[in-house]
Amino acid sequence: MLNIYNTLTRKVELFQPADPNNVKMYTCGPSTYQRAHIGNYRTFLFEDLLQRYIEYLGYKVTRLMTFTDVEDKAVTQAKKENLSIEASTQKNEMMFFKDFDLLSIKKPDYAIRASEAVDQAVELTSKLVDSGYAYWYRYKGIKNAYFDPLKVKEFGKLSKLDMTKWPKKKRRFHKDTYPGTPWNRGDFILWHGCGIKELCYDTAIGYGRPAWNIQDASIVTKYLGYSIDIACGGIDNLVRHHDYNIAIIEAVSGKHFARYWLHGGHLFVDNKKMSKSLDNVYHTNDVLAKGFSGVELRFFLIYGNYHEKMNFTFKKLAETSKLLRSLREKIADLQQTKSAIQTKEDTLVIDEIKSTFESHMNDDLDVKAAFDNLNKIVTKIHKNRELLSEVKVKRVLNSLRRVDNVLQCIY
């Protein structure tokens, strides 16, 4: 039975989807004004691992990933590149999915751009205004829509926001994000009136565009509905973004949005946060240029506790790559085994592969413990491989292949 850490309750809980025949999973995707880096892929890899393991357990998963292509930064970047916004963002999107192939990340059932859910953003905004959760307000002559968090019971419940610190005086935040500000303590923007010509849609609520704060809520509700099983993202999404999603969706539906929330930890480089100013932002091509493979990078990024901070160095990548190569070499030797001898113990060893893998993965996706213990079992089998029949060796290899349907790195 799978047990996962639920950020909403701050507890490890038994995974019990609302419908075992269709687990609904939403994952925060990239902002496509720029290329995704390996820190981003650490998050996407833990989500991939989660989906693959839930499917391994026999569930059907419908997964949606959001793509932010409607924002001020996309306009600025497109101008720098002398491209249209669509050409600029879709160029990065293509690179994103190329990296998915490199890292063996399963493509989501729905990969939806914010620009494809403007109609739903309009509908949600209208419903929120009509019900009193949101309102229209002119700022610098432009009519925007804002959401009042004080109208929502338990606002900030995901990040455990201390509402006693909420200002008494009405404040409005007109931008999507404010760099360096963890929380926008005030009313947040839902709909931008037509201020930027390049991102202006003609809609039932006027010319404008959906704010970043409502984009994911619009995409998820349009394609998955108002109640899902799992919501995932990086730890940086925990502040503001995901609480905004909850507030918007639950204000409209009156029902709980997600049963389980999972957040991946940051990837640091030499114990420092990745940033352009420190010149320590790495992309997949930077890793390949050092002689490492996509499989080795995948293994490094999943070999640890997904919701804790991880530190990247090329030395550590070399160490984990050596560990992975050692296991792969043993498996390659087993594939060449031609012994005809049979013993009584081999069936027990085969069963041990399955039970060991599942016991550790069921413990909040403990990939490191699962891999290390599988490595011990394979080492033992490898030493005694000539005592196993070909039939039993095939059973061992088939069991490992099933494991690798999840890990995607040992074959």
The secondary structure of 187-256 as a DSSP string is: EEEEEEES--GGG-EEETTEEEEE-HHHHHHHHHHHHT-S-EEEEEEEGGGGTTHHHHHHHHHHHHHSS-
Handedness of CA 120, 123, 129, 133 (dihedral sign): negative
> Which pLDDT tens digit goes with each residue over 131-155?
999 999 999 999 999 999 999 999 9
Cβ pair 109, 66 in contact under 8 A: no
Residues 270-283: tens digit of each pLDDT? 999 887 778 899 99
What's the length of the chain? 411
Q: Quick one: how far is CA 359 from the chain centroid?
A: 23
E-assigned strands of 41-118? 61-67, 110-113
Closest C-alpha among 220, 248, 258 to residue 155: 248
Report, as an integer, the average pLDDT of 330-359: 79
Tokens linked to 173 = 């935040």
What is the CB neighbour count within 10 angstroms for residue 204?
Answer: 9
- Answer whether 3-265 and 272-407 agree in fold: no
**pLDDT-derived band at 256, boundaries 50, 70, 90:** very high
Can you give the pLDDT at residue 279? 87
CA dist 186 and 371 (Å) reads 46
Joined together, the tokens standing for residue 221 give 């509700």
Does this model's pTM top 0.85? My answer is: yes
Q: Assign a CATH topology to domain 272-407.
A: Isoleucyl-tRNA Synthetase; Domain 1 (1.10.730)
* Better pLDDT: 275 or 404: 404
Backbone angles phi, psi at 261, to 5 degrees: -120, 125
> Does CATH number 3.30.980.20 belong to domain 3-265?
no
In three-state secondary structure terms, 303 is coil
Domain boundaries, the chain: 3-265, 272-407
